[in-house]
Amino acid sequence: MTTETTAPTNDAVLVAGAGGVVGRSVVEHFARTGVTTRGISRRAPQGVSGWTHLPVDLLDADAAVEGLRAASDTTRLAFAAYIEKADLAEQIGPNVALLEHTLDALDRLGAPLRHVTLYQGMKYYGAHLGRFTTPAKEDDPRLLVPNFYYDQEDLLRERAAQRGFALTVFRPEAVMGYAQGTPMNLLMAIGTYVAMTRELGLPLRFPGQRETYDRILYQMTDAELLARATDWAGSAPTAAGEAFNITNGDVVRWSHLWKRLADHFGLELGEPQTLPLATVMPPREDLWNRMVERHGLVPTPYTELVDWRFGDMILGSTWDNVSNVIKLRQAGFGACHDSADRLVELLDDLGRRRILPAAPGVEVQPV
C-alpha cells in the first residue's frame, strides 16, 4: 500500500470554489505546505493566509480567461465550484459551464495542467431521492434522473483524454468543516441548533424523524481529510483516472451522536421531537443577535449562518446513507477519523474562534 504524499513545491495549485467548505480546506492545506496556491471565489475566505484570491466569474468564458492569466502556471486544479438550483435539470447547464470555462481558460493560457480533482457526492447514487443501494460502490450504475455530476465527469474525462492530464473524482458525504457564508453546511446546522438549545436552557432534542434517530446509519467526511486526499491524488499513480468514495471511515447513528453532543455541552438529552427546522428556526434571528452580543461572537448575518432546509433534508432522511470506501483504502489512502470525536473537535474549534458559543471548558480566543 502506498502512503500519503505531498505536492512538490514547484506545483501551482488552483482551487475553484475556494469560499466553500471543501475549497477553503483545500486552500488551507496547500498554502500550509508552501505550494503556490490560488483560489477562485466571489469573496476571499477570512483567516486563511499564504495564498492568492482570484475573484473570477467562471460563468463567462472570456472573463475566465482574463481572470486566470495570473494562474497560467497552474499544474493542479481542484474543482469545488458549485451553483445551487432547486430543479435538478437546471443545475446541469451552469455547473457544467463553470468546469468547462475553467478548463478551457487554462488551456488557452497554456497552463501546464497535469491533474484535476473533481468533487461529487452521494447524490451521484441517488441519496437525495430516497432509499438507494448501500453501501454504495463506485461502479454502481448511474440513474435516469438529471444529475450534473454525470455531465461534469463526462466533460472532464473527455478533456483529459484530449489534453493529456490526469484526473481523480472524489465522492464524499456530509463534508464537515467551516466556511463563512456557506449555509449548506451540516456542521453549522448542528452547531447552531445545539447552541440555541443551550442558550434557551432546553433539553437537547433531535429535530428529525424518530426513525432516523433510532435506526438510520450515516457517514461524514472531514474537510481536512478530503484536502489531504486531494494532495495524495495528484501524485499517486493508483488515483489517476479513478473515482473514489471518501468518508471518515466509520458510520454514525444519530441517537449515539446526540448523546455525545449533550454530554459535551452539558445539556439534558430529551426525547426526539420532529421539528421543521426551515419553519421553526428562521424567526430566531433575534436570539442569534443576542447570542452574538452576549458571547462576543463574530457577527455573522443569520441568513448566512445556516440553510435550515439543508438541515431538514439530512436529519429527516429515513434511509441509510452509507458508501463503501474499500477502493480508496486499496489504492493507498488510509487516513480516517472517528466522526463523533471529530465533530466535537470541530465545534470546539468554532467555539475557540468565536464563530459559535464555546462548550464548557473551551478557552476562547481574545477579541
Whether the CB-CB separation of 133 and 183 falls below 8 Å is answered with: no
- List the beta bridge partners of residue 176: 222
C-alpha cell at 222: 472531514
pTM of the model: 0.95
Size (the chain), residues: 367
pLDDT digits (tens, 9 = 90+) for 153-200: 999 999 999 999 999 999 999 999 998 778 789 999 999 999 999 999
What is the model's pLDDT at position 49? 87
- Please state the rounded mean pLDDT for residues 244-261: 98
Q: Which helix (H) or strand (E) holds 301?
A: none
Q: What percent of the chain has pLDDT over 90?
A: 92
Per-residue three-class SS string for 16-48:
ECCCCHHHHHHHHHHHHCCCEEEEECCCCCCCC
* Residue 163 C-beta-side C-alpha neighbours within 13 Å: 23
DSSP state of 262: H
Per mean pLDDT, which range of 44-58, 123-137, 164-178, 208-222 is the poorest? Answer: 44-58
In this predicted structure, the answer to whether residue 5 has a pLDDT above a threshold of 70 is no
Whether the CB-CB separation of 36 and 74 falls below 8 Å is answered with: no
Q: How close are the terminal C-alpha atoms of the chain, in Å?
A: 46
* Residue 92 C-beta-side C-alpha neighbours within 13 Å: 11
C-alpha cell at 279: 419553519
Higher pLDDT, residue 28 or 8: 28
**Cα–Cα dist 269/300, whole Å:** 28
Residue that has been written with the C-alpha cell 497554456 in this structure: 110
**Amino acid residing at 39:** G
C-alpha cell at 327: 477502493
In this predicted structure, the answer to whether residue 2 has a pLDDT above a threshold of 60 is no
Q: Which helix (H) or strand (E) holds 280?
A: helix 277-280
B/e letters for 40-62, b = 16+ CB within 10 Å, e = fewer, are bbeebbeebeebebbebebeeee
In this predicted structure, the answer to whether residue 4 has a pLDDT above a threshold of 90 is no
Closest by CA position to 303, among listed 276, 289, 286, 285: 285
Task: Answer positive or negative: Cα dihedral of 336, 339, 344, 349.
Answer: positive
What is the model's pLDDT at position 270? 97
What is the model's pLDDT at position 1? 46
**Amino acid residing at 365:** Q
In this predicted structure, the answer to whether residue 128 has a pLDDT above a threshold of 80 is yes
C-alpha cell at 152: 461534469
- List the beta bridge partners of residue 40: 16, 54
B/e letters for 196-232, b = 16+ CB within 10 Å, e = fewer, are bbbbeeeebbbbbbeebbeebebbbbbbbbbbbbbbb
Per mean pLDDT, which range of 82-86, 286-290, 320-324, 351-355 is the poorest? Answer: 82-86
**Cα–Cα dist 314/220, whole Å:** 11
- Please state the rounded mean pLDDT for residues 286-301: 97
Q: How many CB atoms lie within 10 A of CB 147?
A: 22
- List the beta bridge partners of residue 38: 14, 52
Whether the CB-CB separation of 187 and 176 falls below 8 Å is answered with: yes
What is the model's pLDDT at position 44? 74
What is the model's pLDDT at position 47? 73
The domains of the chain, with CATH numbers, are: 12-175+220-246 (3.40.50.720), 183-219+251-320+337-352 (no CATH)
Q: What is the mean pLDDT of the chain?
A: 95
